[in-house]
Amino acid sequence: MFRAIILFVGLSTASALSAESSGMPQLDPGVWVPQIFWLIITFGFLYVVISKVVFPRLSESIEQRNDYISDLLDEAKKLSEQTEKLNKEYSEFIANSKKEAQEIIATDRKKLNSEFNTKRDELDTKIKKMTDEAEKEINNFKNNSINQIKDIANQVTSEILNELSIKNYVDEKIISSKIDEISKKRIGDLN
């Protein structure tokens, strides 16, 4: 629309401004034939140049570039696939190593545990044996010492009785039984 107005304004100014205006030179049929003639020649020549030289060259160079780019992209894809594979292998390797390490740790711990247990059991039995022995000894000693104390008490009593010259008036059996009774009572207190 805008163009049409400009065209109208242009044309009317043109005809108004030029008194000797012969109108539009474009409408003179005398200039048509040479223009068509030269248009065919020049346009034809240009078509030949473009279709035989420019077009093949351009499409070749663009295709070449696209090929090159797609080659590079393919290579990049391949490399990235390879990287992914390596990555996977690496993580698998790590996982396997971890598993192995855990297994080793577990077996070692078991072994150590069992070794420790046997050693402890051995020590326990040894200690028990030693304690038993020691207890026995203590018991022996205790019993022995009680008998000794009894004997000493009997002797001391009889000696005291002798000194007091009342031995004949006292039954020795009663005294020893009394001593036994008392000592038993003490031992019972001790135990």
Partner 1 sequence: MANPMQQFEVKTIGPKIVFGNFDVSFTNSSLFMVITVATISILFTLATQKKSLVPSRIQFLSEMTYEFVAKMISETAGSKARPFFPFVLTLFLFILFCNMIGMIPYSFTVTSHIIVTFALAAFVFIGVTIVGFAKHGLGFLKLFVPSGAPAILLPLIIIIEIVSYLSRPISLSVRLFANMMAGHAVLKVFGGFVVSLGVIGGWLPLGFSVALTGLEFLVAFLQAYVFAILSCIYLNDALNLH
| Number of Cβ atoms within 10 Å of the Cβ of 157 | 16
Q: What is the rounded (10 degree) CA torsion for 170, 176, 182, 187?
A: 170
* Candidate segments 6-14, 99-107, 159-167, 171-179, binder of partner 1 by CB under 8 A: 6-14
CB of 53 vs partner 1, minimal distance in Å? 6
Closest distance between partner 1 and the C-beta of residue 31, in Å?
4
- For residues 24 to 53, the per-residue mask of contacts with partner 1, x marking binding by CB under 8 A and - elsewhere, is xxxxx-xxxxxxxxxxx-xx-xxx-xxx-x
For 171, list phi and psi in degrees, rounded to 5.
-75, 120
Q: Whole-angstrom Cα distance, residue 3 to residue 9?
A: 10
Of 1, 3, 171, 188, which lies in the binding site for partner 1, with binding defined by CB under 8 A? 3
What is the nearest approach in angstroms of partner 1 to the Cβ of residue 74?
A: 17
Cα end-to-end span (Å), the chain: 132
Tell me: does residue 72 bind partner 1 (CB under 8 A): no
Q: Is 65 in the site for partner 1 (CB under 8 A)?
A: yes
Q: Which two tokens stand for residue 61?
A: 């160079």
**What is the rounded distance in angstroms from the CA atom of residue 98 to the CA atom of residue 89?**
14
Query: Looking up tokens 């190593």, which residue turns up?
Result: 97
Which residues here bind partner 1, judged by CB under 8 A? 3-4, 6-7, 9-11, 13-14, 17-18, 20-21, 23-28, 30-40, 42-43, 45-47, 49-51, 53-55, 57-62, 64-65, 68
